[in-house]
Amino acid sequence: GNSVTQMEGPVTLSEEAFLTINCTYTATGYPSLFWYVQYPGEGLQLLLKATKADDKGSNKGFEATYRKETTSFHLEKGSVQVSDSAVYFCALSASGSARQLTFGSGTQLTVLP
């Protein structure tokens, strides 16, 4: 079956530090890959996505590249802000459909001023 393995947290960084959160996946075919973010007290929000190999998703300074050869979709940001403090979830959905998402366990990020 499909699965997502996500770097365990929590992660604590100083403002303006570089962020990497690792994500690898197991899936048949060509899944779509997502990063969702959950800010304190809020619902899950889509941060970025990539639907095919070598696609780069980007939003709000965050980037992730769909690497089929390493089955990875690592999240990066060059300079984090305090407002980036949240829980980040890597997820996939089966190719060619609008079916369910399979999530990783989440990574809590805290950015200190």
Closer to other proteins by CB, 8 or 15: give it.
8
The residue whose two tokens read 């407002």 is 83
State yes or no: residue 3 binds other proteins (CB under 8 A). Answer: no
Of the pair 8, 16, the CB lying nearest other proteins is at 8
Amino acid occupying residue 70: T
Binding to other proteins by residue 93, rule CB under 8 A? yes
Bridge partners of residue 76, in order along the sequence: 20, 63
Please tell me the distance from the alpha carbon of residue 84 to that of residue 112, in angstroms, as a whole number.
Answer: 10
Comparing CB distances to other proteins, the nearer of 64 and 102 is 102
Stretch 20-59: interaction string toward other proteins, x if CB under 8 A: ------------x---x-----xxxxx--x----------
* Residue in the structure block whose two tokens are 């079956």: 1
Residue 98 exposure: Cα atoms within 13 Å on the Cβ side: 0
β-bridge mates for residue 111, sequence order: 13
> Interface with other proteins by CB under 8 A: which residues?
4, 6, 32, 36, 42-46, 49, 89, 91, 93, 95-106
